[in-house]
Amino acid sequence: MKVELPLAAVGEAGWVDLPFVHPARLTLVNAGDMRSSPVRCAALEAMGYDPASVCMVHQTHSRIVRYADELLALGSTAASGTRVEGDGIVSDADGPVLAVGVADCMPILIADERTGAYGVVHSGWRGTGILENAVDAMAHRCGTNTEDLRVLCGPCICGESYAVDAGRGREYARWGNDAVVWRGDQAYLDMRAANLAIARELGIVAAVVDHCTLLTPQLGSYRREGPGYHGMLALIGPSPVIASTIDEEDESDE
Sign, CA dihedral 218-223-227-232, equals: positive
- Is there a domain that residue 10 lies in? no
| Rounded Cα–Cα distance for residues 216 and 225 (Å) | 11
Task: Determine, yes or no, domain membership for 222.
Answer: yes
Confidence (pTM): 0.92
Terminus-to-terminus CA distance in the chain, angstroms? 43
Q: CA quadruple 98, 50, 38, 83: dihedral positive or negative?
A: negative
Could you read off the pLDDT of 235-246 as tens digits, one per residue?
999 876 544 444
Number of domains in the chain: 1
pLDDT of residue 1: 84
Residue 45 lies inside a defined structural domain of this protein: yes
What whole-number distance in Å separates Cα of residue 10 and Cα of residue 163?
30
Residues 235 and 18: their CA atoms lie apart, in Å, by 9
The β-bridge partners of 15 are 27
Residue (of 116, 129, 114, 113) closest to 90 by Cα position: 116
Nearest to 123 by CA among 162, 165, 170, 77: 162
φ/ψ of 180, rounded to 5, equals -135, 130
The phi and psi torsions of 173 (rounded to 5 degrees) equal -60, -15
DSSP-assigned letters across all residues of 15-33: EEE--SSS-EEEE-GGG--
Within-domain flag for 166 = no
Please report, in tens digits, the pLDDT of each residue of the chain (254 residues total).
Answer: 898 898 877 777 799 999 999 999 999 999 999 999 999 999 999 999 999 999 999 999 999 999 999 999 999 999 998 999 999 999 999 899 999 999 999 999 999 999 999 999 999 999 999 999 999 999 999 999 999 999 999 999 999 999 999 999 999 999 999 999 999 889 999 999 999 999 999 999 899 999 999 999 999 999 999 999 999 999 999 876 544 444 444 443 33
Distance from CA of residue 167 to its chain's centroid?
27
CA distance 102 to 118: 18
- Residue among 228, 227, 248 nearest 32 (CA): 228
Give the Cα separation of 188 and 28 in Å (integer).
Answer: 25
Answer whether residue 53 is part of any domain. Answer: yes
We report the CATH number of the domain holding residue 150 as: 3.60.140.10
Inside any domain, residue 186: no
Rounded-to-integer distance, Cα 78 and Cα 13, Å: 20
The reply to whether 88 falls in a domain is yes
Cβ distance 112 to 148 under 8 Å? yes
Q: What are phi and psi of 96, to 5 degrees?
A: -90, -175
Does 2 map to a domain? no
pLDDT confidence of residue 241: 56
Q: Cα–Cα distance between 85 and 98 in angstroms, integer? A: 15
User: What is the CA angle 121-124-129, rounded to 5?
Assistant: 65
Collapse the DSSP code of 147 into the 3-class scheme (helix H, G, I; strand E, B; otherwise coil) and give the result. Answer: helix
| Residue 226 φ/ψ region, left for φ over 0, alpha for ψ in the -120 to 50 degree band, beta for the rest | left
Q: Where in the sequence is the domain holding 210, given as residue range(s)?
A: 15-158+192-253
